[in-house]
Amino acid sequence: MADGRDEDILFARHGAVGLVTLNRPRALNALTLDMIRAMDARLRAWEADGAVTRIVLRANGGRAFCAGGDVRAVHALARAGRDAEVGDFWDGEYGLDALIAAYPKPIVSLIGGIVMGGGNGLSVHGSHRVASEGYRFAMPEVGIGFFPDVGMTYVLPRLPGRTGTYLALTGATIGAGDALALGLATHYVRADGFDAVVAALGEGSAVDGVLAAHAEAPPPTGPVVAERDLIDGCFSEPSVADILARLDGAAARGSAFAADTAALMRTRSPTSLCIAHAQMRRGVAMEFSDCIAAEIRLAGFLMRGHDFFEGVRAALLDKDGAPDWRPASLDAVDHAAIAGIFDDTGGPAPRSDREGRTDRA
């Protein structure tokens, strides 16, 4: 039974399920501020509705669950000097992530296709993440002069070994096998089984039991599992430069994975790499609410800089793949400024933090 609709996001009740469907497939279901606000409001309403005992998130289109926030729109707003609206976007997106992390009812994400950036903010903080055969996870923000946000300061450092640091500093894409092994996904169901999962959850049976009954054998793992020892050894180094040196050494000894990883990192914004590395080293000891507050400050810092605008230009607008990072070298990055952002206990907090909602359930 449908009980709400917006062009880009749909809401419906299916028995015990409150169903959210992202409906912007031509944009790979990238999140607009209107979508974020609509989802926030509906989740709060369903939290208070005793007839809704679990939430399901899914997406239309097949190619992507959600490719992230609408970076083009944020870029345009920032270029136009509409800083308040840019701030509203980050506040809304990070506040929604915090709401999901603290939500008292199970949230089941049915993830088909690409899940990047803000799509991971919607899904990974929920209780259950169901990957399909098309699942592709990435946090590629270092490639556009940004940083792995949407609560990844909390999530990625807590993955096994240094796999989260690898994902943060490379922006590499992984499939369902590796995601299940790392805990980013909790179950594997082919996409053509998603409707059956929604129907079964709507009957009100225990969520864990329903998902266990529909889950299939996981697909083979990929390069992250295969190269775990090398990843842990290299990405445990105390600086980005040291990580690259270790990768170069492994490459010289014949590791194609190390060579490819170092080459990929050298295409990324040096400032973003250093921010992401600081996130991974500091985030493991931070509470979720503190991570979100730090990300608000980091976003504001980068909106006042150069690399985000240049990265979006090179990757999404002109698509020339040749960003002019400033600074262009790791040595010239202002590490003191980055440390100061993390050490700052003031600054704006996301909406959910102001309402006391950012402690994880």
Q: What is the pLDDT along the chain (361 residues), one digit of tens a residue?
A: 445 556 999 999 999 999 999 999 999 999 999 999 999 999 999 999 999 999 999 999 999 999 999 999 999 999 999 999 999 999 999 999 999 999 999 999 999 999 999 999 999 999 999 999 999 999 999 999 999 999 999 999 999 999 999 999 999 999 999 999 999 999 999 999 999 999 999 999 999 999 999 999 999 999 999 999 999 999 999 999 999 999 999 999 999 999 999 999 999 999 999 999 999 999 999 999 999 999 999 999 999 999 999 999 999 999 999 999 999 999 999 999 999 999 974 444 444 433 333 332 2
Considering the candidates 91, 141, 227, 353, report the single residue annotated as catalytic. Answer: 141
Q: Which amino acid is at 309?
A: F
**Nearest in space to 90 (alpha carbons), one of 23, 39, 29, 36:** 36
18 tagged catalytic: no
Distance in angstroms (rounded) separating the CA atoms of residues 30 and 333: 31
The pTM for the full model equals 0.94
pLDDT at 72: 94
Distance in angstroms (rounded) separating the CA atoms of residues 139 and 143: 9
175 tagged catalytic: no
203 tagged catalytic: no
Instruction: List the domain range (segments joined by +) for residue 159.
Output: 1-361
pLDDT at 344: 79
Considering the candidates 15, 18, 68, 69, report the single residue annotated as catalytic. Answer: 69
Write the CATH number for 291.
3.90.226.10
The HSE-up count of residue 166 (CA atoms within 13 Å, CB side) is: 27
Considering the candidates 70, 149, 178, 353, report the single residue annotated as catalytic. Answer: 149
Structure-token pair, residue 6: 């917006």
Considering the candidates 18, 112, 113, 118, report the single residue annotated as catalytic. Answer: 118
Distance in angstroms (rounded) separating the CA atoms of residues 6 and 23: 9
**Nearest in space to 280 (alpha carbons), one of 237, 229, 224:** 237
Count of domains forming the chain: 1
Q: Where are the alpha helices (DSSP H) in 48-174?
A: 71-79, 83-101, 118-123, 152-155, 163-170
pLDDT at 5: 55
pLDDT at 3: 52
DSSP H or E stretch at residue 181: helix 176-182
149 tagged catalytic: yes
